[in-house]
Amino acid sequence: MIMRKRRICINEIRKLGNSEYKVASDEVNKQIEQLKSILKKYDEGGMLIGEAPCTKDMIDVTDRDFAMVNMVSVILIFIIIAVVEQSLSIPFILIAVIELAIFINLGLPHYLGQSLPFIAPICISTIQLGATVDYAILMTTRYKSERVNGNDKAAAARTALATSIPSIIVSGMGMFAATIGVAIYSDIDVIRSMCMLLARGAITSVLTVIFILPALLLLCDKLICKTTLGMKNILKKHSEGMTI
């Protein structure tokens, strides 16, 4: 018996194209979607390959992971603040201030016409979250201590602000000085963008904690006293007519 082998020939058609847009930009991602829709009309199994499509695929795949990492970071920071401050309301206040600083830092590139690497938001949000929480805890701990010692909320806020500002500025300026030089000198786009965000984030965090956090502590003073261990007696003394 003679067995005949059938030879199957697969014809591959390759087309090469160049784009004038930067990788990971909104323009090139839109262009990739248009090219994919054209490609699928002629070949369902066709693939669009290259640096820009690969980067877009990475963005789509890692987007959920980045969101999960950010959520886990916030939850862990919440638990740490709640344990350290022994309060249920203070973690919400501090995380709100920190997230505001991160939001401002990541929102500025849009108005400045700058493009960011897709890994920048998750890296910057976690680093800035960890750095800013130190400033916030420092000021809040002193504010709580002053309130427990019998000072009124305005005096407690002034004392906490006066004693915390030097440490916050030194720490923030240290991070700024360590990153701004790399951001200016480096020719690598990813490194330059990341370091610029870190430098700007340090300034944003310092200003947010100094100017916004004390106002929130004053505004939420009653809530803080009700939900923090060792501070409920402050409201009781106030209801009895004693100075707080």
**Per-residue pLDDT tens over the stretch 171-213:** 999 999 999 998 888 888 778 888 999 999 999 999 999 999 9
Within a domain: 106: yes
Residue 155 half-sphere exposure, CB side, CA atoms within 13 Å?
10
Residue 143 half-sphere exposure, CB side, CA atoms within 13 Å?
29
Report d(CA 24, CA 44) in Å as an integer: 25
CATH number of the domain that 210 lies in? 1.20.1640.10
Within a domain: 10: no
Question: What is the predicted pLDDT for the residue at 116?
Answer: 76
Question: What is the predicted pLDDT for the residue at 239?
Answer: 53
Within a domain: 156: yes
Q: What is the DSSP letter of 92?
A: H
Report d(CA 97, CA 54) in Å as an integer: 36
Nearby residues of 187 by Cβ (< 8 Å), 6 or more positions away: none
SS (H, E, C) 155-191: HHHHHHHHHHHHHHHHHHHHHHHHHHHHHHHCCCHHH
Within a domain: 71: no
Each residue of 230-240: pLDDT tens digit? Answer: 887 776 665 55
Report d(CA 11, CA 25) in Å as an integer: 33
Instruction: Please identify every stretch of the chain with a pLDDT value under 50, giving residue numbers as ranges.
Output: 1-11, 242-244
Within a domain: 181: yes
Total domains present in the chain: 1
The overall average pLDDT reported for the chain is 82
Within a domain: 199: yes
Question: What is the predicted pLDDT for the residue at 173?
Answer: 93
Question: What is the predicted pLDDT for the residue at 111?
Answer: 86
Question: What is the predicted pLDDT for the residue at 241?
Answer: 52
Alpha helices in 86-152 (DSSP H): 90-112, 120-148
Each residue of 217-227: pLDDT tens digit? Answer: 999 999 998 89
Report d(CA 69, CA 125) in Å as an integer: 10
Within a domain: 155: yes
SS3 for 44?
coil
Q: Give the count of beta carbons closer than 10 Å to the beta carbon of residue 133.
A: 22
Please, which residues bridge with residue 228 across strands? Answer: 87
Question: What is the predicted pLDDT for the residue at 240?
Answer: 54
Please give the residue range of the domain that contains residue 235. 86-239
Within a domain: 14: no
Question: What is the predicted pLDDT for the residue at 194?
Answer: 87
